[in-house]
Structure 1
Amino acid sequence: MLLLRSFIVLWLCGFVQFAQATQPCVQDDLNQPVCVKQAQRVLVLAPHLTEIVDFVGGLDRVIAVDGSSNFPAAVNSLPKLPNPWVLGAESILARKPDLVLVWQSGISADVVVQLRKAGMPVFVSEPKTVAQVATTMQRIALLLGTQSTAYPKVDQWLARFEQLSNRFKGRAVVPVFYQVWRQPLMTLGGQHVVSEVIGLCGGRNVFSDLTNLAAQVSVEGVLKRNPAVLLSSGSVEDHRALLKQWAPWPGLNAVQRSHVYTVPNDLLVRNGPRLIDAAEQVCDHIEQARRQEP
């Protein structure tokens, strides 16, 4: 993790020199240049990006957000747009933003192309690791002109991950199954940031060998891999449903030892600043199971 932080600093140092020569420019997650000087009218079309903008100190620049953005509470006073998949380039341009932030998996690629042809700076985000979340924060801060206060916050954020890594380094590995969906039964593969978080806690995603970010699996497959922890995201009601779902298999290690957990909605499934809060909860759950392992 220390090497990760050093890499991010070096990457940004080289980049900022270029940015200062003209105007702030970054490469988005499609490796496309995005240039704007201290954006003042920002349109944000993904919940994790809304949270990132707030984290780096730019929420006062936001003119509208997508309908799913609900954190922090202040975003609920902002205009909310329909699902980005149904938004056309014309409706986005009509709001006269000077920067548009979008999630690659949550918007039509054709709309992005049309916006760029119209000269609109568009930052396309698809962070898949803790490091990529950190650089997303830093790149957006640079476009907003808030880097002087945002960069130290990002560094502190990464330091919390480093502390978790150091805390659980060398401890017994705990097999974990993360459930995305019940029917069909879905999980996450080894390339997803949730798998990275589990590993950070000294756990092991039992389906880390899957190359897809998400994949359908069978109950038999889960039973065969016999996780010591069953983990999902959801509400208290979702947790009750998870317990009921797996109760018919009392021989499953996680069920037998009562290590079936849910992390509150939106914490673990949004690749933004609250990912560290989710990681700390995941680590606590894995540690409880570790202490009861024979």
Structure 2
Amino acid sequence: MVYQRLCGLGYLFLALCLLTISSASASSNPSQRIVALSPHVVELLFSLGVGDRIVATVEHADYPKAANDIPRIGNVHGLSFEAIIALEPDLILAWEGGTPKPQLQRLAELGIPVAYSHSKTISELPEQLAQLGALVGRESQAQQLITQVNEELTKLSAQNRQIAKVRLFYQLWDMPLMTVAKGSWVHSLIEVCHGDNVFAGLAKAYPQVSVEQVLKQQPQLIVIAQQQTPERVAFWEKWQQLPAVANKQLVFLNPDILHRPTLRTLEGVKQLCGAIATAAEQ
């Protein structure tokens, strides 16, 4: 149920490899017909310049614009095996939190190579780019993107290191109220900005919390990774005892650029860091 909610927000992900593909073999035989089973993989493949090799994908793969023209062969509930086999892919790229593992194992048993993305934190994005670059024969392009990611993250971290710590509540979802803790992709973004995640210490990476818990933590900033609506604004505005509400530090950010581990994440981190810097001035 949690995964289904996250699908609407943008894809957060884990990794597990059923198939190991060496960089050498992948480079000499780069994949040409790819089934990409997550929106973030689709984005990364387009960033590497091989979006035209994607023969099928899943629901919610909507960026860049050209991704909307790719045939859909499934969603979080399952895949069309007949459609996948008919497409004769030479690689399936997936992530463990998406398609149920038994379905992917079945495809692997049919002889179709299956590989998984594995980034759990923003610091692992460069490694993911390198692995995808090797699979599709675009190592040099991947290295350019890796350099860009590392430079941007180093710059953002340095810029925000001098800013006073801001107590931040990150609203992942509102019904039920969900947030992020250590071990989550989003928490790693908050760390780049040197924000103080008020629920960092909870046991689960994506825990459910109550309004009472938020009130007790007294956040200076509330970041809502959902579409802004009058109802969502009104929900928090009634809690004027919260510093974030009293100081009008209620910020809505695009979940796709924060939750999908892609090059657009850099823009999401910039916006997140900007919100934290503004709250620090209050």
Q: What TM-score do the two structures reach when normalised by structure 2? A: 0.88
| Amino acid aligned to 1:81 | I
Offset at 1:45?
1.1
Gaps of 5+ in 2: 1-14
Offset at 1:82?
2.6
| Amino acid aligned to 2:119 | P
Output the CA distance in 2 between the equivalents of 1:257 and 1:288. 11
Q: Is the 1:38–1:144 Cα contact (8 Å) retained in structure 2? A: yes
| Amino acid aligned to 1:82 | G
Match of 1:12 in 2: none
Match of 2:12 in 1: none
Q: Does 1:151 align with 2:143?
A: yes
| Amino acid aligned to 1:235 | Q
Gaps of 5+ in 1: 1-27
Match of 1:200 in 2: 192
Residue of 2, 5, 17 corresponding to 1:30? 17
4+ runs of 1 displaced by more than 3 Å?
Answer: 88-91
Paired positions, count:
263
Q: Does 1:241 align with 2:228?
A: no
Output the CA distance in 2 between the equivalents of 1:100 and 1:259. 43
Offset at 1:228?
0.6
Q: Is the 1:44–1:64 Cα contact (8 Å) retained in structure 2? A: yes
Output the CA distance in 2 between the equivalents of 1:58 and 1:211. 39
Q: Is the 2:172–2:226 Cα contact (8 Å) retained in structure 1? A: no
Output the CA distance in 1 between the equivalents of 2:200 and 2:46. 32
Listed as ranges, the matches of 1:113-262 within 5 Å are 113-237=105-229, 240-262=230-252
| Amino acid aligned to 1:225 | Q
Q: Per-residue displacement from partner, 1:126-171 (whole Å, max 9, x unpaired)? A: 4210122221111011100011122112211221011000111132
Match of 1:18 in 2: none
Q: Is the 2:57–2:74 Cα contact (8 Å) retained in structure 1? A: no
Offset at 1:70?
0.4
Q: Is the 1:186–1:215 Cα contact (8 Å) retained in structure 2? A: yes
Output the CA distance in 1 between the equivalents of 2:121 and 2:18. 16
Q: What TM-score do the two structures reach when normalised by structure 1? A: 0.85
| Amino acid aligned to 2:158 | N
| Amino acid aligned to 2:172 | V
| Amino acid aligned to 2:104 | V
Secondary structure in 2 matching 1:213? coil
Q: Is the 1:57–1:150 Cα contact (8 Å) retained in structure 2? A: no
More strand by share: 1
Output the CA distance in 2 between the equivalents of 1:87 and 1:79. 12
Secondary structure in 2 matching 1:123? strand
Larger relative contact order (Cα-Cα within 8 Å, sequence gap ≥ 6): 2
Aligned-residue identity in percent: 30
Q: Is the 1:191–1:211 Cα contact (8 Å) retained in structure 2? A: no
Q: Is the 2:18–2:114 Cα contact (8 Å) retained in structure 1? A: no
Secondary structure in 2 matching 1:261? strand
Match of 1:277 in 2: 267
Offset at 1:54?
0.9
Match of 1:15 in 2: none
Q: Per-residue displacement from partner, 1:89-135 (whole Å, max 9, x unpaired)? A: 44422221001111211111111111221221111224210122221
RMSD, matched Cα: 1.6
Output the CA distance in 1 between the equivalents of 2:80 and 2:65. 27
